[in-house]
Amino acid sequence: MRVLAALAQGFNAYGGIAQSSQDFLRAIVRCYPGSKVEAFTRSSDTNCAHAEEGIFQHAPSKERLKFAIEIFRSAILNQYDLIYCGHLFLAPLIQPIARLKGIPFYIHLHGLELTASTTAPRRMALRAADRLISVSRDTARMAADCSGVSQGNIVLLPNRVRDFFCLPKSRAEARSLFDLDSQPVLLTVGRIDSKQRHKGHERIIAAMPSLLEKFPDILYLIAGAGDDLERLRKIAEAHEVVDRVKFLGRVSDEILPLLYGAADLYAMPSTGDGFGIAFVEAMACGTPALGLAIGGTVDALCPGELGHACASESFEMELEVCLSQALRLDASGRSRLSVSVRNKFGQAAFDSKVRALLDPLANRLTDNS
């Protein structure tokens, strides 16, 4: 299978959307040996080309016209079996190329890009796609609502948790790495972006004075970087909890699993995530997770099976209850949680869903060869 991929953020980029595309394309190469992926990206964490087994990504093209020309030229000069669009905002550029060449065209949907104000060209691309890949049921619903596309043309593919998110060998050593003693620890991981305030960091900060009455030495760790950091610092100052809220900045993939494993409870009252991979990563590291029963968060938490999801108005109360429960969770309970999460969102489950999506296309290619 030869795949032409158009990505908003390429390999080596940071964030859940970039990870979704990377995982999908790597699964193609893994599930269909001999497959080749040629990727074009608008941005990346480096300006260099990227190559790994079965995948080649050109250096990023930040100029929209140059990006479109490069993809058009490649589609004309080469033979592809599938065009994969990693983000809806690229779809109006890519869809005419797919139609011109008669190549199947898939769009990966993540949630935030789907709103009532979705542009007409994007709605047209949604309707023209051969398949829409959705990270959650809520994202699929939004796609159907804004475009009128049939739910039968939308395939659910929850984000996968990567193998290095697992129980720390020693939780005591993990806590020591972050200068933690025996105090209760809350954690939130994600971009601190003024355009993504839906994640709700400030709501947990505002709840800290109340939590301190029951947990006098509680600490709230916030991992992530972005332009909204100063606002959150001021909120912590206003609530007089600046000494109980610690901003860690961006945490590398090498130590992020240890940070998850060191925390007692992962909490994020997000009102707008298309999925919420951080919930899954935390639970894979053995840490219970709490979020709101809103949007794609529900699919990530699997309430009653893995994590906890509550109504928005009861979040502060549930935060205290879930932290109390998490503090009583022993090592075997954390291990069971980790195993359950990996069974549901690990590589084997992800690959199985990718095969179910792509086997009909792969079989047609075999029949035509």
Three-state SS for 65-121 is HHHHHHHHHHHHHCCCCEEEECCHHHHHHHHHHHHHHCCCEEEEECCCCCCCCCCHH
Residues whose CB falls within 8 Å of the CB of residue 340, separated by 6 or more in sequence, listed in order = 305, 306
The answer, yes or no, to whether residue 15 has pLDDT greater than 80, is: no
d(CA 302, CA 291): 11
Q: pLDDT digits over 268-280, tens only? A: 999 988 999 999 9
Higher pLDDT, 187 or 111: 187
Compute CA distances 153 → 124, 187, 220, 296, 313, whole Å.
14, 37, 42, 19, 35
- Degrees to nearest 5, angle at CA 98 with 92 and 101: 145
Mean pLDDT across the chain: 94
The answer, yes or no, to whether residue 61 has pLDDT greater than 80, is: yes
Q: What is the dihedral of CA 41, 67, 119, 268, to 10 degrees?
A: 20
d(CA 191, CA 137): 23
Nearest to 215 by CA among 238, 182, 188: 182
The first and second tokens of residue 55, run together, are 């995948």
Higher pLDDT, 176 or 17: 176
Q: Residue 112: what pLDDT?
A: 83
In angstroms, the first-to-last Cα distance of the chain is: 11
**Long-range pairs for 315-322: beta carbons < 8 A, 24 or more residues apart:** 315/203, 315/207, 315/269, 315/290, 316/203, 316/207, 316/210, 318/290, 319/186, 319/204, 319/207, 319/211, 319/265, 319/267, 319/290, 320/210, 320/211, 320/214, 322/265, 322/267, 322/288, 322/290
d(CA 206, CA 212): 11
Look up the pTM and report it: 0.93
The first and second tokens of residue 174, run together, are 């993990």
The pair phi, psi for residue 174, each rounded to 5°, is -65, -45
Q: pLDDT digits over 226-240, tens only? A: 999 999 999 999 999
Residues whose CB falls within 8 Å of the CB of residue 334, separated by 6 or more in sequence, listed in order = 167, 171, 286, 287
The answer, yes or no, to whether residue 100 has pLDDT greater than 80, is: yes
The answer, yes or no, to whether residue 118 has pLDDT greater than 90, is: no
d(CA 176, CA 193): 29
Give the residue-averaged pLDDT of 93-103: 93
280 three-class SS = helix
Comparing 10-14, 138-142, 204-208, 358-362, the range with the smallest average pLDDT is 10-14
The answer, yes or no, to whether residue 368 has pLDDT greater than 80, is: no
Q: Are 167 and 286 in contact (CB under 8 A)?
A: yes
**Residue 334 exposure: Cα atoms within 13 Å on the Cβ side:** 24
Please name the helix (run of DSSP H) or strand (run of DSSP E) that holds residue 42, with its range, or none.
strand 36-43
Q: Residue 131: what pLDDT?
A: 96
The first and second tokens of residue 141, run together, are 């619903």
Please name the helix (run of DSSP H) or strand (run of DSSP E) that holds residue 329, with its range, or none.
none
The first and second tokens of residue 357, run together, are 């999506």
Q: Residue 369: what pLDDT?
A: 62
